[in-house]
Chain A
Amino acid sequence: MTKYKQIRIVLNNCGVIDPENIEESIARDSYMALGKCITEMTPQDVIKEIKESGLRGRGGGGFPTGLKWEIASKNHADQKYVVCNADEGDPGAFMDRSVLEGDPHAVLEAMAICGYAIGATKGLIYIRAEYPMAIKRLKIAIDQALEYGLLGNNIFGSKFDFNIELRYGAGAFVCGEETSLIHSMEGLRGEPTIKPPFPAEKGYLGKPTNVNNVETFACVPIIIRKGASWFNKIGTEKSKGTKVFALAGKVNNVGLIEVPMGTTLREVIFEIGGGIQNGKKFKAVQTGGPSGGCLTEKHLDTPIDFDNLIAAGSMMGSGGMIVMDEDNCMVSVAKFYLDFTVEESCGKCSPCRIGNKRLYELLERITKGQGVMDDLQRLRNMSNVIKDTSLCGLGQTSPNPVLSTLDNFYDEYVAHIKDHKCPAGQCKDLMKYFIIAENCVGCTACARVCPVGAITGEKKEPHFINSEICIKCGACMERCKFDAIIIK
């Protein structure tokens, strides 16, 4: 389609327009799609267009957006709601934030279109309070849109009314799950309930509610403007359009990227990302945030889309992408993500509340060299049961980092357990500092800098580190001018 690897659909206006000036948005076709919907299309036409576009939910689930709208449109009630999920909570992810800060009108317009399609007159944006800039710009955008008659009552002189309010989240990861999000908006404890009933049937205040993520909404206006057939030419057979990723980690070019579905991980990491920093070796890429999995060399040529990533043992998630090199310990990576899910579990169901904690404890033992080989079997069984029995998406995916690293980096686990070694040299408890006698000139610099007096030796004689006393702070290694100190 283009010689460039990236195309901008969602991020089209970001950085181009002044997001606090609606006229700049309008100059770039904002609200054209809403106008077209209201004046030229029936709600059924709108839903049909979105269905044909093949747009799938960008929050991670990948549920067909048009179908979701259709279900909500068919549930009749005196009041329905459109909710925008702006509770972006993956560590290191800021796709939604960029859209809200850079192009707020795209989201407002799409919500109004959704309201028109499903028969809702009220929209709510559930946004985390940690996004003050996004909140400020959304407020300005809403005010300006109201002033211009693009939101509010009788939009475009029609009988269609649509008003949008903000609701603030307190930064709980689980509130990105739609039933939790709705409970939180209702002032209740942010925890999920069993579906069905789905929000489309019984959502906010018990009324039919359609919840979509920021990025999903941001795709909507352009689909209406350019048509489903334009949109569905981009991407793979079952995943259409583009996806924004927050590329991070050990690549040379980090930041937000937007690529068509079907782009390979190799293209993203080595072409767009510019390869691994300092010429180190690529080891793994974590996609899908804390709920995703670690993919390796063998997955590099997999075209990125919803289904391929799941098949590979990871997931699309909301678009976090963290690249790791040979210096990353994969057991520690799994532990890092578990630490996050343990912290973010709501506590409602036992496998997630307790099981994740137990997984974390086991990983911690392994990184300390206290693991036994049976632990690997236990890790796998606990992970499978947590996935199989948890109530919501959080627990159903939280063991993914453990399972994918067990699958792809089993040897690394074994090295920690059997050899008490961390091949990446990251697990402090397994590291030992040594002095290479041949290189040591006996300058005593290391002994003087050691905070715990672990280094002994005569002047001008090779020194020795007592590993029983050593706290592995690394100060000696830093001080040594003769490369005499190594970690093993």
Chain B
Amino acid sequence: MAPTTRSLAQRGSPFLDPGPVTKANSLALLHLSRDNLEPVYLAQTAGEHDGYAEGVVVNTRYGSYPHSSMIGIPWGTQIRASKVDTGSRGRKRKRPNGDDAGPSSDGTPADTPAETETPEPPQNPAKQPVATTSGFIHILPPTPELWTLSLPHRTQVVYTPDYSYILHRIRARPGTVLIEAGAGSGSFSHASVRAVYNGYPDRDGKHKGKVFSYEFHEDRYRKMKKEIQDHGLEGLVQLTHRDVYNGGFLVDGESPKASSIFLDLPSPWEALPHLSRQRPQSDKAENGSETTEEDEKPWVSPLDPKKNAYLCTFSPCIEQVTRTVSALRRLGWVDIDMLEIAHRKLHTVRDRVGLNLPYDRSVNVSAKDVDEALGRLTEIEDRLRENSRPRAGADAMDDDDDIEADDNNITAPASTAEASSARPWKDGRLVTRGEPEIKSHTSYLVFAILPREWTGEQEAAALAKYPVGETGHIVGALDKAARKKERREHLESLKNQGSRKARRNEGFERLAKISETAV
């Protein structure tokens, strides 16, 4: 699907700053339709590739698109399909094998790697792509939303409605350090790195936003690592291959100093003790008698000691939630809040109902209102009455034909009149409908806050800085007496000073009254 050359030499992620035009060796998303996007790493090839004269080619159901026709153009551009010889390349490749007298089982495996490893020498430069008469796609810059729609699934994906709300609630803002455990398919990683990004880390060591991501699964870890590289997110996402239940969150023994945490784990309560301010009690309790060495080592918290920590866990089952919440309470987290996000997508449709509309798949041929129904019914009744009148020497067959003919005579002119003015984009009533299938449950979200530590010394320092003594003005809710007193004082002060503006306004009012009485 994607070419093998994907090295991103330049710094800068297409997710964070795609630039005005598409670039070679960078990720782009081909927009085939709203929910059908194809990620492509644009490759600049000098000559033929994989049998295509135009270099690397993407084939879709809407035509073939050589990469060379998609590099260096503004994002969002509509691209015409190119005339690509998709047929003969298969034959060409086959021919050398076929010439060797029949199907040789030993020849194929030997040949194929050789072909892929050594790209054909670019003796003839890539063919200039030629546009066809039909077929097009659009090319879009990658965003976490579009990536979420198109990414290769490795696990259950955290979708946009969920992660948008989570990031808002866990205060993932530029400059935040965020812990994400269970990198999964990487949709949350991409969204969170965009949220915390405030520049690539510099030599000056200025505080920058960063995502610390942990993945237990070896295969997913490797794939994710590659993705981070390909997307230019090195330095912004630090991926660690670890079981956080036992291993905790420290990276090389150092604290990430995080203030936002997202746990997408099967049992978040097992990871929670690591996210404490102090050595969790259970540690001591467990080690009990043989604590010596463990206790002597200073315990390092992965949290920023100067900030409140905001946490969200993502669990599909209610049992997980109750256990998580119970653990959170015991570990001193506050403002615990559990909810789920119900998201709906809607479509707009032109609802076309009527007896006289031109026939179309989307038209509902029935009366559009009572009047139309009445008109139709009376018409039928009238005709019936006419027909039920005894006619001399007439046969029933003719009568029936007459009715049908009449029916056609009446409706036909109306339908042609409608058809002549038919504007399918404007007819009918505009209505909205939900999708045929909705995601009714994704997961329960548990939010909690762990306030920064507050010691006696800090309290004393604060008290010394802002000593409690004489206090003046009262802020907030007042009782009735105090409110009245304040109001009285305020009026007094107005009377005594009397600003110039107030006096002038009074003067105007007096004048207005005088003029009114005069009239």
A binds B: no
Residues on A lying within 8 angstroms of B by beta carbon are none
Residues on B lying within 8 angstroms of A by beta carbon are none
